[in-house]
Amino acid sequence: MSADVTNIIFVLFKFLILFGFGLYIVFAAVILRQEQLMANVLEESFEPVLRFASFLHLVAAIGVFLLALLIL
């Protein structure tokens, strides 16, 4: 396979990956929002830990997106 074709494949692949990661960020944001809504349904002392975990998940999703943007 020639170098040009390989490069085109990788560029297309990069865009697909970034699009997928972008969708995952939306999913992570929905989890965080849903967790906040459910916290209103049930008030419990452990809830801040879950909120932090949901927030961490969103940050990790954004981090992976940025990592892909920078190094791919």
Partner 1 sequence: MPTVFEEKKKDKILVNRGPLVERTIMTPLTSFAVSPEGIRFETQEQEEKVVLFLRQHLVVLLGPLLLVILLALAPVLIFPVLFQYLTLPIDVPISYVIVGTAFWYVVTFGFALMSFLRWFFNIYVVTDKRIVDIDFIHLLYKEFSEARLDKIQDISFKSSGIFSVFFDFGDAYVQTAGGDLPNIEFLAVPSPARVVEAISDLLEKQKT
Sites of contact with partner 1 (CB under 8 A): 1, 6, 9-10, 17, 21, 24, 27-28, 30-31, 34-35, 37-38, 40-46, 49-50, 53-54, 56-57, 60-61, 63-64, 67-68, 71-72
Neighbouring C-alpha atoms within 13 Å toward the C-beta of 38: 12
Shortest Å, Cβ 63 to partner 1: 8
Distances (CA, A) of 39 to 36, 55, 66: 5, 14, 30
Q: Name the 3-class secondary structure at 61.
A: helix
Shortest Å, Cβ 15 to partner 1: 13
